[in-house]
A and B are shown apart, each in its own frame.
Chain A
Amino acid sequence: MDILPILATLRRHKMIIWLLVLEIALSCAIVCNGVFLIVQRMQHMEMPSGIAEHELVQIQQAPIAPPSDRYARAQEDVAALRQIPGVRAVGMTNQLPFSGYSSNGGVMLSPTQPHRTLNAATYFGGNLLPTLGLHLVSGRDFASDDYVNADAILKSLANGSGKGFPMPTIISSTLAERLWPQQSPLGKLIWLAPKASFRVVGVVATLARANAYNTATAQYSMIVPLHMGADKDQSYLLRTRSQDRQRVLAAAVAALKRADPARVITHTRTYDQIRSDYFKDDHAMAGILISVIVALLLVTGLGIAGLASFWVAQRRKQIGIRRALGATRTDIVHYFQTENFLIVTFGIVIGMVLAYGLSLWLMMHYELPRLPLSYLPIGAVALWLVGQLAVLGPALRAAAVPPVVATRSV
């Protein structure tokens, strides 16, 4: 196919060509950045929690007044919840992966360190490994005599006696690898405060934190065998088969109400709800971006098709002459396809520069990472496809112009 005659023709419609190029360039810039944003959000949404997500339900309560003995109350509640048919395990926790409400501590590798080494999620509660379904990769789970009442520990911290420390702790493998790269973490000590030391007795494969803003630190978590008692900040967790979740949840609420009719249950939800709530914004963002990108490619495609139709109508006579001079239908189709390819390619080249500029601007204002170069071809391919699809109809119509048109005047 000879390109020079096409270029010569394009020069005669400078303004319209520039508009098309501009439209394609803008589309390309938005598509490249949009796809990148979508992929980022999707990756964020797929962040692993490390727990048996589809088998968990959570119940939170607000005690009407401090119960006389919140530890005894918690024990009674757990015992009652265990009785419910279909319940495989019952635990208590102060937080859950992606639950939003978080409890964290500053981890130090020595008691005299002036600043913390890192910040990690601190899970307090009971029976968490079997209930959450955490995968223990080394060491052991807590034994029943590892558990201590929170009041005893607070008293020990307040009078500085250090009684009860070091406590056992189970940490995530990511945290272990960050604190002691290439070493066995078992038996090692960490500090949350100068007097509060913890000995690592086990390592779980994955356990995400409640506020997993940052992918790099999302898996820094530790579990401490601390009985907190029945409280608004301690929720009951029940593990059951996924099809039994709603039934178990209803039965559990009824059992708790039976134990204390004055009790206020503030939240009951399945873990799946917690996860989808936490990632709702990412979901929204991906949804908006996908719809805009689809609409944008559609409008661009229709625009290209509209202009191409005009050109075909305008050039009927010339097409007829070419056909009369021996050009085949395929030649005519190829002419329009090549013309479209040239325009789109030109738009894409400008669009890539724009895409990069847009990415730099987004980086400056929204703390987004730089657009990887590998995303540029996505925009290019998308627009080439849209362009070729859009021009196909008009091109076929052009090919259908009979050579006899050349002989008619007007």
Chain B
Amino acid sequence: MLAYYLDLALRSLKRNPALTALMVVAIGFGVAASMITYSVFRAVSGNPIPDKSAQLFTPQIDSWGPQQSFNGDGEPPQALDYTDAMALMHAHAAKRQTLIYPVQLSVMPSGNRSLPISASGYAVYGDFFPMFEVPFRYGNGWNAKQDDGRAALVVLSEEFNQKLFGGVNSVGREVTLGGHQYRIVGVTRRWNPVPRFYDLFGSSGFEEPADFYLPFTRALDLQIPTNGNNSCRGKISMNGWDSWLRSNCVWVTPWVELDNAAGVARYRNFLEGYSADQQRAGRFNWAPNVRLRDVMRWMTYMHVVPPESRISLMVSLGFFLICLVNTVGLLLAKFMRRAGEIGVRRALGASRREIYMQFLIEAGTVGLAGGLLGLLLTAAGVSGVGLLFRPEIARLAHVDLSLVALTLAVAISATVIAAFYPSWRAAHVQPAWHLRSN
């Protein structure tokens, strides 16, 4: 029966090729526009660390006071100053904790065979690697003792290890960064969570992967300045490294790992208590104002998803909706013109259900064709996304199996849903009316 309906559908579609083409093209363009923008949106709004995003939190402490808040909205600064960052680190109130700031150093590739290159990385604590589940190819991260020992260690990324050492196991070797020697203790596998949730203060979250990670304590000893944002309030008193550390300039991003709701509540209490202590000590003359956001909340708060991506997705969905309304109209007109044919089929014993099936299958065929066209257009569009979006965002968009499946599923189901009303009208044709000769 199905094959027969399919045959009927193809015959009917062939009878009005222009109209069929029109419906197919409309669905194809509608679904392609939606899928292209969705592929970008999916990339920029995805969860960068799905299995742990609910256990990783970034604490914020108001060290500027309500008058000086970032956007005048009473929110604490988006990073910590040195004093608060070190206090959190020394308190050890969470299961794991790290401080992070971006650094940029020049590197002399070994053998002096080429000119120095610039490399960017992060100053972090040893907990960084297990907390963020950084995968290792060779070696490991470092431990808390080495943090305290302010050791000259470094972890390289796989790409950077390739560039410097041709990809061999470089653990134990020395590398010179910014004029200082470091011993390599680990090489990560390819690891670049997107968006880069742990470094959003002064970065869009879509930058090139990091080249290296070195101990925070060592970076402080060497007085390596931040390569990220540095925001200060009040009077300028920058007189060298130490006064910068003592200032209210915020530049350190803290992250903590908390296992459950009780742990989160406990940590929040700790932050409140710390701020209250600072108020009693006279360092803050305002009430405690702290935040503890997890990965997804932090990304929302920092507006990681570019508004362009969201608006273009909505506009494309609006376009798809119009294409569907268009299809409903055309299907209705088409089906109603065949009232005579329906009358004959009904008179010959076809049930309403069968008429229904016949027309839904016809619509499904249109949807399938539209979906295939949409797939071609999506593939072309995704490869051309670079013409429109910024390169660091455009390269995130890609066609994979799930996008292919989604494109076809959306095209077929949307067309079939659009066909419900026209098919219902067709199924309710009164056979008697149409059997009279007109």
Chain A residues within 8 Å of B, Cβ to Cβ: 15-16, 19-20, 22-23, 26-27, 30, 34, 37, 62-65, 115, 154-155, 157-158, 192-196, 232, 257, 261-264, 266, 280-281, 283-285, 287-289, 292, 295-296, 299-300, 302-303, 306-307, 309-311, 313-314, 366, 410
Report the bound CA distance from A16 to B333 in whole Å. 7
Min Cβ gap B211→A in Å is: 13
A34→B315 contact, CB < 8 A: yes
Q: Is the CB of B315 within 8 A of A288?
A: yes
Whether B328 lies near A30 (C-beta < 8 A) is no
Contacts of B421 in A (CB 8 A): 15
CB pair B236 A192 closer than 8 Å? yes
> A26 and B116: CB pair below 8 A?
no
Chain B residues within 8 Å of A192, by CB = 236
Determine if A15 and B425 form an interchain contact, defined as CB atoms under 8 angstroms apart.
Answer: yes
Instruction: Tell me how far the C-beta of B367 lies from the nearest C-beta in chain A, rounded to whole angstroms.
Output: 16
**If A280-B390, A292-B316, A303-B330 touch, does A26 touch B321 (CB 8 Å cutoff)?**
yes
Pairwise interchain contact A307-B333, C-beta atoms closer than 8 A: yes
Q: How far is the CA of A261 from the CA of B115 in the complex (A)?
A: 8
> Contacts of B26 on A, CB cut-off 8 Å?
299, 302-303
Find chain A residues with CB under 8 A from B337 CB. Answer: 310, 313-314
Closest B residue by C-beta to A34: B315
Closest to B310 in A: A366
| 30 examples of A-B residue contacts, CB within 8 angstroms | A26-B318, A26-B321, A30-B318, A62-B118, A64-B108, A64-B116, A65-B178, A157-B236, A157-B237, A158-B238, A262-B116, A264-B117, A281-B306, A285-B312, A289-B312, A292-B316, A292-B319, A296-B319, A299-B29, A299-B319, A302-B326, A306-B18, A306-B19, A306-B330, A306-B333, A309-B19, A311-B333, A313-B337, A314-B337, A366-B307
Chain B 65-90 residues near chain A, CB threshold 8 A: 67
Q: A20-B329, A64-B108, A292-B312 are in contact. List 4 more A-B contacts (CB 8 A).
A: A157-B236, A192-B236, A281-B308, A299-B26
Task: Report chain A residues within 8 Å CB of B387.
Answer: 287
Write the nearest CB–CB distance from B113 to chain A, whole angstroms.
14
A366, closest chain B residue (CB): B307
**Shortest Cβ-Cβ A-B pairs, 6 listed:** A158-B239, A303-B326, A19-B329, A284-B388, A65-B179, A310-B333
Closest chain B CB from A61 CB (angstroms): 9
Cα–Cα, bound, A287→B236 (Å): 43
Which residues of chain B come closer than 8 Å to A27, judged between CB atoms? 322
CB of B332 within 8 A of CB of A37, answer no
- For B, the interface residue count at a CB cutoff of 8 angstroms equals 55
Distance (Å) between the CB of A95 and the closest chain B CB?
14
Cβ of B104 within 8 Å of any chain A Cβ, yes or no, is: yes
Report chain B residues within 8 Å CB of A296.
Answer: 319, 322
Against A, the Cβ 8 Å flags (1 = close, 0 = not) of B387-412 are 11110000000000000000000000
On chain A, the residues within 8 Å of B330 by CB distance are: 303, 306-307
Query: With A266-B118, A288-B312, A299-B29 in contact, is A30–B322 under 8 Å at CB?
Result: yes
Contacts A157-B239, A289-B315, A292-B319 given: A232-B104 contact, CB under 8 Å? yes
**Of B19, B37, B104, B328, which one neighbours A288 at CB under 8 angstroms?**
B37
B33 within 8 A of A: yes
Q: Which of B238, B312, B315, B387 has the most CB of A within 10 A?
A: B315
User: CA A124 – CA B319 in complex, angstroms?
Assistant: 49
Any A CB within 8 A of the CB of B323: yes
Q: Is B235 an interface residue (CB 8 A)?
A: yes
Q: Tell me whether chain B's interface is mostly helix, strand or loop, or mixed.
A: helix
In the assembled complex, which residues on chain A have CB atoms less than 8 Å from the CB atom of B425?
Answer: 15
Task: Report if B302 contacts A (CB, 8 A).
Answer: no
A154, A283, A313: which contacts B238 (Cβ < 8 A)?
Answer: A154
Task: Confirm or deny: B344 has a beta carbon within 8 angstroms of a beta carbon on chain A.
Answer: no
When C-beta atoms are compared, the residue in chain A nearest to B438 turns out to be A410
How long is the Cα–Cα vector from A261 to B112 in the complex, in angstroms?
12
Contact B106 A23 (CB under 8 A): no
Give which listed residue, A264, A288, A311, contacts B106 with CB less than 8 A: A264
Q: Tally A-B pairs: CB < 8 A.
A: 140
Report A-chain residues with C-beta under 8 Å of the C-beta of B104.
Answer: 62, 232
CA of A26 to CA of B106 in the docked complex: distance in angstroms?
55
Complex contact B118–A196 (CB within 8 A):
no
- A284 CB contact (under 8 Å) in B19, B29, B239, B308: B308
Bound CA–CA A257/B115 (angstroms)? 10
User: Does B260 sit within 8 A of A, measured CB to CB?
Assistant: no
Residues 92-132 of chain B: 1 if any A CB is under 8 Å from the residue's CB, otherwise 0?
Answer: 00000000000010101000000111100000000000000
Partner of B319, one of A263, A295, A311: A295
- Flag if A30 contacts B236 (CB, 8 Å): no
The residue on B at minimum CB distance from A317 is: B438
**Binary contact readout B419-433 vs A (1 if CB under 8 angstroms, 0 otherwise):** 001000100000000
Closest to A288 in B: B312
Residues of A close to B315: CB separation below 8 A = 30, 34, 288-289, 292
* Cβ-neighbour of A193 out of B179, B236, B311, B388 (below 8 A): B236
A285 and B308 contact, Cβ closer than 8 Å, known pairs A64-B106, A307-B329: yes
**Separation of A157 and B237 alpha carbons in the complex (Å):** 6
Q: Are B178 and A26 in contact (CB-based, < 8 A)?
A: no
Q: Is the CB of B312 within 8 A of A26?
A: no
What residues on B are CB-neighbors of A281 within 8 Å?
A: 306, 308, 390
In the complex, residue of chain A having the shortest beta-carbon distance to the beta carbon of B29: A295
Q: How far, in angstroms, from A194 to B235 measured CA to CA in the complex? A: 7
> Given A64-B178, A284-B390, A289-B315: A306 and B33 within 8 A (CB)?
no
Q: Determine the chain A residues whose CB is within 8 A of the CB of B417 once the complex forms.
A: none
B222 to chain A, nearest CB (A): 11
Asked if A299 and B332 make an inter-chain contact with CB atoms under 8 angstroms apart, the answer reads: no
* Smallest CB separation, B323 vs chain A (Å): 6
B325 interface contact, C-beta 8 A: yes
Q: Given the complex of chains A and B, what is the CA–CA distance between A232 and B120 in angstroms?
A: 14
In the assembled complex, the Cα of A115 lies from the Cα of B316 at a distance in Å of: 45
How long is the Cα–Cα vector from A269 to B407 in the complex, in angstroms? Answer: 40
Name B324-349 residues within 8 Å CB distance of A.
325-326, 328-330, 332-334, 337
Considering only residues 143-163 of chain B, those with a C-beta below 8 Å from chain A are: none
Residues of chain B within 8 A (CB-CB) of A309 are 18-19
Which partner residue on chain B sits nearest A41 by CB separation? B308
Docked Cα-Cα span, A263 to B115, in Å, equals: 8
Closest residue of B by beta carbon distance from A115: B67
CA distance A341 to B311 in the complex (A): 31
Identify the closest chain A residue to B225 (Cβ). Answer: A232
Please report the C-alpha to C-alpha distance between residue A310 and residue B238 in the assembled complex, in whole angstroms: 77
Q: How far is the CA of A70 from the CA of B321 in the complex (A)?
A: 62
**A157 vs B238: C-alpha distance when bound (angstroms):** 8
Q: How far is the CA of A193 from the CA of B232 in the complex (A)?
A: 12
Assess A300 versus B307: contact at CB under 8 Å? Given A19-B332, A292-B33.
no
How distant is B283 from chain A, measured CB to nearest CB, in Å?
A: 19
Among B106, B239, B310, B334, point to the contact of A155 (Cβ < 8 A). Answer: B239
